[in-house]
Structure 1
Amino acid sequence: MEYWLWVLLLIIFVLVFMRLKLKSNTKQGKKRILAIAGSGGHTTELIRLLSSLPSATLERHYAVADTDRMSIKKITEFESKLSSKSKYFTYVIPRSREVAQSWLSTVFTTLFSFVYCIPVILKSKPDILLCNGPGTCIPICIAALIFKFLGFCRGEIIFVESICRVTSMSMSGKIIYPFSTKFFIQWPHLLTSYPKAIYLGGRIC
């Protein structure tokens, strides 16, 4: 019985320590953004979003799928053009789902990717997660939500649905929608099924 009491006290201590550290970082004005890249147009849209943010006041972290070499190249080019040459961080995680992969096997690959996402959240401690639809965002958003609940990071999810989603939401969007802090869409038709979403027209990307 005493053993479990000490374990409980240790857990409480860790959670209190995490919350105090999180408050301390917030007071210092540190804003950490974890941008989740996807292959093809997803990364192009993501970089457009990032280019509209004040780079000097953000600590930028990126999550990229291990088979997505193009996104790493685009991120490197984007960072090299910023006026504030602050350090940025890139994390490579297993892709949760390949194109045309069966949904049954996707469950297992997503769980595998989730394990790799845990240290990403522990290292980046994101205030904001910025994603726009790639399947890569699912396991990392789940990991962030868990650590947000534990008080380790703010983990506010900002989801911007891709401009190509005109009449229906992406699968990633449907999954993240209930848990997102802000959910943006670029076509008004989606408001009927997703009233929580914020419609800003095609001005986002």
Structure 2
Amino acid sequence: MDIWLWALLSMLILLLWILMRRLTRNKQPTRILAIAGSGGHTTELMRLLSSLPTNLERHYVLANTDHFSKKKILELESKISTKSNHFTYVIPRSREVAQSWISTIFSTLFSLLYCIPVILKSKPDIILCNGPGTCVPICYTALLFKLFGICRGEIIFVESICRVTSMSLSGKLIYPFATKFFIQWPQLLENYPKAIYLNGRIC
């Protein structure tokens, strides 16, 4: 058989596979992948999640050194769900406090390798994050898999309330690709006009 016919047939099979996956996913509960930080980031994230419908299939990502977030996730789940409807994934931290920027490049690349199985297992419809460094490799990995139709991967970024006059580094990196990007202070609109100002604090 001509090589071009083989290529066309392979592409058709791939398109049908993607279509079938999307039709099947429509019958399943919405999957949300929430990315915890530590301290204030996690506290804000828990407030966001507590206001969402409880019938979501919730997936969490936290750094391997983040024991605070693990505790807060368990506390939230015990309040909003009577049955186990959540999954937790642990990845290496992209950047530790006071870590040099040069070494951060390598630690982030290392973290990316751990993000691949997380996205393949969770196949998130929505990725919710509010600024921790852990969210950067997850969001970029999800963006790649979204291009291949493996996950819906809509990125919802809520900039932390503590970012009043300048954006976090995570926010700057994700801003161009986010489906929805929310800020909680109007001053940020000047440099980030695509952002959505929340007139009323949510975190």
Question: In the TM superposition, what is the alpha-carbon distance from 1:11 to its structure 2 partner?
Answer: 6.7
Question: In the TM superposition, what is the alpha-carbon distance from 1:24 to its structure 2 partner?
Answer: 1.8
Query: CA 1:24–1:74 in structure 2 vs 1: closer, same or farther (change >3 Å)?
Result: same
Question: In the TM superposition, what is the alpha-carbon distance from 1:9 to its structure 2 partner?
Answer: 5.6
Question: In the TM superposition, what is the alpha-carbon distance from 1:83 to its structure 2 partner?
Answer: 4.3
Which residue pairs with 2:47 in the alignment? 48
Which residue pairs with 1:25 in the alignment? 25
Q: Verify the 8 A CA contact 1:15 1:150 in the aligned structure 2.
A: no
Counterpart of 1:146 (choices 144, 154, 167) is 144
Distance in 1 separating the partners of 2:15 and 2:66: 35
Gaps of 5+ in 1: none
TM-score under structure 2 normalisation? Answer: 0.93
Which residue pairs with 2:36 in the alignment? 37
Distance in 2 separating the partners of 1:170 and 1:202: 20
How many correspondences in the alignment?
A: 203
TM-score under structure 1 normalisation? Answer: 0.92
Q: CA RMSD in A?
A: 2.0
Partner SS for 1:178: coil
Is 1:129 aligned to residue 127 of structure 2? Answer: yes
Question: In the TM superposition, what is the alpha-carbon distance from 1:203 to its structure 2 partner?
Answer: 2.2
Identity value in percent: 71
Q: Which structure shows the higher helix fraction?
A: 1
Letter in 2 for 1:20: M
Query: CA 1:79–1:134 in structure 2 vs 1: closer, same or farther (change >3 Å)?
Result: same
Question: In the TM superposition, what is the alpha-carbon distance from 1:201 to its structure 2 partner?
Answer: 3.0
Distance in 1 separating the partners of 2:8 and 2:127: 31
Post-superposition CA distance 1:113-169 (Å, at most 9, x none): 001000000000000000000000000001100000000110000000000000000
Partner SS for 1:55: coil
